[in-house]
Amino acid sequence: MLDDLGADVPLTGPATRVVSLVPSLTEALAATEPGRLVGATDWCTHPADLSVARVRGTKNPDLAAVRRLDPDLVVANQEENRELDVRRLREAGVAVWVTRIETVEESLASMSRLLAEALQVAEPGWLAEARRLWSAPVAPRLRVAVPIWRDPWMVVGASTYTDDLLARAGLVNVLAGREGRYPTVTPGDVDAARPDVVLLPDEPYVFTADDGPEAFTTPARLVSGRLLTWYGPAMVEAHAALATLQP
């Protein structure tokens, strides 16, 4: 079978020992087949009661610890994980499935195929509900900007999962026209784009009431980064939060 990048994944049957290097995929696997998940990164915070071996971070996984868990499959993501780590695992004989997700539609298709082909399980209820909720964009109703880092300031741009998620919730990303998927800007650039509200997530940069809103003249609102960037069960919660978002 082939992963999202067309690489061969040498599985001879359903994966029963899985290590996840992607927080959102960890949550998806734990919600679907928790008994098969044997390892996850330190950043895999959902579900809160997840009790599996930890293999360090998404960008610096402990590859020796991963191998010691004797997984028949490691799941990774093109954006979140390093190609070098994927290559080293494959060279050590570990099967790795890499996802590529830049839109809501891609997230649904990717997770559906991973569960059906690699784990050979029926589509879970949370995935069917996410597909129903995010089936089509709605009319634009609110202009937003989404910083993800400061010093330097960086924002969500086009060709990203978050940008597509916002659009499907009727939220227009006013900085989508900037070059790059995560353009570097100034707070003045953000205000000049005239969003109705600046959304400040708690990841990857942890914006707080005292760290972020003061930089803008535009009203700002703290939001869950998980709901803006995690595909998986978080998509159901994200719809409830974003579809009714007000300034």
Digit-by-digit pLDDT tens for the chain (247 residues) are 999 999 999 999 999 999 999 999 999 999 999 999 999 999 999 999 999 999 999 999 999 999 999 999 999 999 999 999 999 999 999 999 999 999 999 999 999 999 999 999 999 999 999 999 999 778 999 999 999 999 999 999 999 999 999 999 999 999 999 999 999 999 999 999 999 999 999 999 999 999 999 999 999 999 999 999 999 999 999 999 999 898 7
Domain limits, the chain = 18-123, 142-242
3-state SS string for 103-118: CHHHHHHHHHHHHHHH
Q: Which CATH superfamily hosts domain 142-242?
A: Nitrogenase molybdenum iron protein domain (3.40.50.1980)
Give the CATH architecture of domain 18-123: 3-Layer(aba) Sandwich (3.40)
Q: How far apart are CA 141 and CA 41, in angstroms?
A: 37
Q: How far apart are CA 187 and CA 243, in angstroms?
A: 26
pTM check: above 0.85: yes
